[in-house]
Amino acid sequence: MLVKKGAEASLFLEDWQERQVIMKRRLPKKYRLLKVDERIRTYRTIHESQLLHSAKEAGVPTPTIFLINLTDSNIIMEYVQGTEVKRVLHNLPTESRYALNVHIGKLIGQLHKNRIVHGDLTTSNMILTTSGEVVLIDFGLGEKTSQVELRAVDLHLMKRAFQSTHFLYAKESFDAVMKGYFMVVGEETGKKVLDKVIEIEKRGRYISER
């Protein structure tokens, strides 16, 4: 069953080895040369699998990978039962929402501290499980880097997600995320990244005003 269709890959809920799993399929792109397409899909499949594993090693909950099929560019991974943070954040009391966002900030800080950039940090790519754990999913656009710019882009995307989807409490949510982030990466690193986020925002305003 198709769960989510993206530009780069699609997610299917399937039965495998007597359990429900998510199969992430990178389907061939007809506009690319066959050999080029195969290399791109294979690389991205390997790369995402490595990032998911690295994030888990860094203490950030991610789906467990069961099987990687490089021939078909598929990843079979754990089906994380829960709800997208996007769908629950607005229903939470103020204190619970604050605590959840601080926790999310800590997870992002843990990623960045271990040189992992998610690449698509939105509340749609975070699953809140029934046990209250936040699991980060979809590392397809992620990469290994310690660049301040790319860390800031990660957080800028998070801020934009709050502004577009959770606009009633966007500022308080992002401030809470940054509080958790600072707690993990430290004051000096946190300030460098936050300053870069502000710089990125200014660039966007300048371009839109031209």
Supply the residues annotated as catalytic.
120
b/e 186-195 (16+ beta carbons within 10 angstroms → b) = eeebbeebbe
Which pair of tokens denotes residue 37?
A: 């397409």
Cα angle at 159 between 158 and 162, to 5 degrees? 90
Contact 157, 122 (CB under 8 A): yes
Helix, strand, or coil (residue 172) = helix
